[in-house]
Amino acid sequence: MLTVSRPTIRADLSLLVMLDYIAAKPKVGYFLGEKAEKKESDSYVLRNMKVGQVQGMPVVVDVKTTVQDAVVTLFLENIGSLIVTDEGGKLAGVISRKDLLKVTLGNPNASSMPVSMVMTRQPNIVTITPEESVLEAARKMIHHQVDSLPVVSYPENRSDLEGNVVGRITKTTIIKLMLDKVDQD
């Protein structure tokens, strides 16, 4: 396939064998070594692990919650954003530190304002389902420049406006997952 002879690449093959990227057996040939197989198993964590396996508990507030109560909840829970639900428990919006900061600066009436006035609403919310991969969650977070995603399950007749909030996944969750994998090795 490479149109080179074995003697030409023998030095390169022996170097790869010494580095354990490939292994060699007489009369068998060359095959993947431990380091090459290990690289495949590392990607398994993000590719094949589902969001539902690692999601955290959602920190949820009601649409009628005041901005002041939302700020207090944000600090007490030590998180970056809150998930807002309607009376039926369906996803209504997300409110971040930045949203709360924008509304409170220079606005003396902001503390009594409901979060529904300042939250990011559907369909502008990026969500993920428990069946999607952790890798897909990471891609969505990076592409949309958000720190966390609400994990939403949908009824059989899926409508993006009818999702039940079942959890949340954050960049911190994904980094911890990768660190745990490194510690195992």
Q: Are 153 and 128 in contact (CB under 8 A)?
A: no
Q: Are 58 and 150 in contact (CB under 8 A)?
A: yes
Q: Residue 151 has what DSSP assignment?
A: E
Would you list the domain boundaries of the chain?
6-32, 51-179
Q: Which residue has the tokens 């209504």?
A: 92
> Measured between alpha carbons, how far is 91 from 50 in angstroms, rounded to an integer?
21
Q: What is the pLDDT of residue 142?
A: 93
Between 27 and 57, whose confidence is greater? Answer: 57
CATH fold group of domain 51-179: CBS-domain (3.10.580)
Question: Using one digit for the tens of pLDDT, what is the confidence trace for 106-127?
Answer: 888 888 899 989 999 878 889 9
Consecutive H or E run containing 29: strand 29-32
Q: Residue 157 has what DSSP assignment?
A: S
Backbone angles phi, psi at 50, to 5 degrees: -90, 150
Q: Which residue has the tokens 């969650």?
A: 137
> Measured between alpha carbons, how far is 141 from 170 in angstroms, rounded to an integer?
8
Handedness of CA 69, 58, 180, 147 (dihedral sign): negative
Q: What is the pLDDT of residue 49?
A: 87
**pLDDT tier, 95 (very low <50, low <70, confident <90, very high otherwise):** very high
Question: Using one digit for the tens of pLDDT, what is the confidence trace for 122-150?
Answer: 788 899 999 999 999 999 999 999 999 99
Q: What is the pLDDT of residue 109?
A: 86
pTM over 0.85: no
